[in-house]
Amino acid sequence: MYPSSRTFLWMTLLGVTSGQTLVDLRTQGKNVDFSAAASTRPFKSGPALPLTCAVGEMFYKTDEPAGMNLYGCVSPNAWAPEAGGRSILAVNRTGPSALTIGAGCSVAFPCNIRFGNSVYSVVSSATTSITAGSGVAFIYVSASGAVTIGSNLTLNCSPNCSLQDGITSFPADCVPLYTWSATNGEWDVNGGADLRAFISAKPLHPGPGLTSTEIGGTTVLGIDPALIGIRTSVPPSSTAACATGSWAADASFIYFCVGPAAWRRVALGAW
């Protein structure tokens, strides 16, 4: 006896619902639209990049500043910040023992640092690896334009970077990037502190004997003549014009200006 059409339909539906539990969107989906979905999470996420990856994989790094979270696998087991996440001289933990500095720096997109009238370009990333120690690493650009890691840890660094032992704070003549803490020979997962500053200022306050003047956005430091006498040319006479406190000297005399247009001199003698 053959089953009725209603029974056959019920058995067919039962087989579909019980046997097909997975959907392959790559081959079975068509015009998939998630715009009305309550939630979508297309990427893996976490505070640390996976140690292994295949080209084309994406990862959302949750411990990065907003806008710098997205990473792509650019070669086997190698991650790089993607467009929208490229940040000048950012430091990222790319493994328990590795920090990558300036992953977005390249010849096409150099990371430039200015010290006075000198501009230095960083055109490749650097990796610093820790092998032992606990403490804090200070990562900065030195006044000579070198990416530098200063610490009391046991580190390696390559390429185009320098190590400096005995550093316990940022040097005065550097551009700070990050600090990163380590424990027992491994970089702490949440140990990074971003200390880069796109907007910054360095006020100058003259001390005793100095003056400061702002001229066209430039601070000009000078001597305060009320406290420090300025050397000038030898006066032609005792009534030559002068500023009180200024002085002059030649092979025979030292000259002092004791008031407006009033010079005094003392003869010099051999020892």
Tokens 């530098």 sit at which residue?
148
Distance (Å) of CA 53 to CA 49, 58, 63, 108: 9, 9, 19, 26
pLDDT tens digits along 82-95: 754 456 888 989 88
Residues 117 and 177 in one domain: yes
- Full-model pTM: 0.59
Residues 112 and 157 in one domain: yes
Residues 229 and 143 in one domain: no
Instruction: Report if residue 166 sits inside a domain.
Output: yes
Q: Which residues contact 225 (CB under 8 A, 6 or more apart)?
A: 243, 244, 245, 246
Q: Are 162 and 138 in contact (CB under 8 A)?
A: no
Question: Which of 146, 166, 194 is at the close of a domain?
Answer: 194
The H-or-E segment that residue 17 falls in is helix 5-19
Instruction: Report if residue 23 sits inside a domain.
Output: no
The pLDDT of residue 178 is above 80:
yes
In the numeric block, which tokens belong to residue 77? 């087991």
Comparing 135 with 31, the larger pLDDT belongs to 135
Integer Cα distance of 178 and 174 in angstroms: 12
Instruction: Report if residue 155 sits inside a domain.
Output: yes
Instruction: Report if residue 243 sits inside a domain.
Output: yes
pLDDT tens digits along 27-61: 666 777 777 888 888 889 998 889 899 999 999 98
Residues 156 and 235 in one domain: no
Instruction: Report if residue 45 sits inside a domain.
Output: no
Residues 150 and 235 in one domain: no
Instruction: Report if residue 12 sits inside a domain.
Output: no
pLDDT at 239: 96
Helix (H, G, I), strand (E, B) or coil at 123: coil
Full residue range of the structural domain in which residue 169 is found:
87-194
Which DSSP string corresponds to 222-233? EE-TTTSPPB-P
Domain count across the chain: 2
Q: Are 88 and 111 in contact (CB under 8 A)?
A: yes
Integer Cα distance of 122 and 153 in angstroms: 24
| Cα 195 → chain centroid | 6
Residues 190 and 124 in one domain: yes
Integer Cα distance of 171 and 175 in angstroms: 9
